Structure 1
Amino acid sequence: MQIRALESADLQSISKLVSDVSNMDILPHFCRQGKSEFISRVIPDLEATMNPALFKSIVATELDQIIGFGAIREQNYITHVFVSKNAQGKGVGKALVNKLVSFADGKQVSLRASINARSFYEAIGFSATEPEGRFNGIRFIPMSMPLDKVK
């Protein structure tokens, strides 16, 4: 597996990856409103991650195929971590998060974990900072990790 910076030519591949993973792992946890809101926000938001002035975005590849995608903004807020279903459980997510955390600046890094990803983030050192939240039907868990505890 290789991790590299996101390139503009990757947008179609990461859009498909995010859509596929979302349909299998994330959207089943949402009500109708949440599904609609997520679809209308997340896929279009991927284009914003192409802006290096706002985001550091990376992809994980294997045999020249994108198997993971991650982005961090403001050097301390992870906005996206998606790993293809076939690559889940093989360390790709952890490698992406570790690389994103290496860009972090400050005392901690934070994120809003999807319901299905809570145990993954807890296993790599994140803790819930608030109870489950909802925004227009999108369920999430606010989490953070002190940078001195990076695993």
Structure 2
Amino acid sequence: MAGFVVGNIKLNEIDKAQTLIKSVFDKYIAPGYSPEGIRHFYEFITLEAIISRLITKSFMLAARTENEIIGVAEIRDYSHISLLFTAEAYHGNGVARTLIRTAIDKCLQKNKELKSITVKASPYAVPIYEKLGFSCSEPEQVLNGLRFTPMIRTLK
């Protein structure tokens, strides 16, 4: 596998990130969601919605090879993972782990007292987050057609 680097997303990369998110969502997550849930997710990942969140309350990291974005993570309020997606060809190669590690470091720089980071994981992502050190904090829920399990990772 080619090497990759992780850093803040650039404004001109957000459309590429959105394309990556949608393609992975459509293949791995959407099949378990209702039409309402899919519609709500698509509204969440419009370019306008992403840019608005990045201006007000979130930051986004991108994992890049020389030629492409292979993963993205969006963190809200320096404490909650809103999005974490890796290109299919790079699943199992440490991209998500590196994105999470980098995001946690950035959150801790902002708030040295941060005790935990949370996520609302799709059914597909629960075992992935468990491998990344998260545990379920509540049973699976459905909100606006979106299925998720609240999860938390305690920070040392």
TM-score, normalised to structure 2, is: 0.88
Please, which of 81, 84, 87 is the counterpart of residue 84 of structure 2?
81
Please, which of 43, 50, 74 is the counterpart of residue 40 of structure 1?
43
CA distance in 1, matches of 2:30, 2:133: 25
SS at match of 1:64: coil
Q: Give unpaired runs (5+ residues) of structure 2.
A: none
Aligned pair count? 147
SS at match of 1:131: coil
4+ aligned runs moved over 4 Å, structure 1: none
The alpha-carbon deviation at position 63 of structure 1 amounts to 1.9
The alpha-carbon deviation at position 49 of structure 1 amounts to 4.2
The alpha-carbon deviation at position 71 of structure 1 amounts to 1.4
Amino acid at match of 1:46: I
Is the Cα–Cα contact under 8 Å of residues 18 and 45 in structure 2 kept in the other structure?
Answer: no
Q: Give the % identical residues.
A: 25
1:123 aligns with 2:123: no
Amino acid at match of 2:129: Y
CA distance in 2, matches of 1:4, 1:64: 15
Q: Give unpaired runs (5+ residues) of structure 1.
A: none
The alpha-carbon deviation at position 55 of structure 1 amounts to 1.8
Is the Cα–Cα contact under 8 Å of residues 133 and 139 in structure 1 kept in the other structure?
Answer: yes
Matches within 5 A, 1:2-151: 2-44=5-47, 45-51=49-55, 54-104=57-107, 105=111, 106-148=114-156
TM-score, normalised to structure 1, is: 0.91
CA distance in 2, matches of 1:110, 1:64: 31
SS at match of 2:70: strand
Is the Cα–Cα contact under 8 Å of residues 133 and 141 in structure 1 kept in the other structure?
Answer: yes
Please, what is the CA RMSD of the aligned residues? 1.3
Is the Cα–Cα contact under 8 Å of residues 21 and 82 in structure 1 kept in the other structure?
Answer: yes
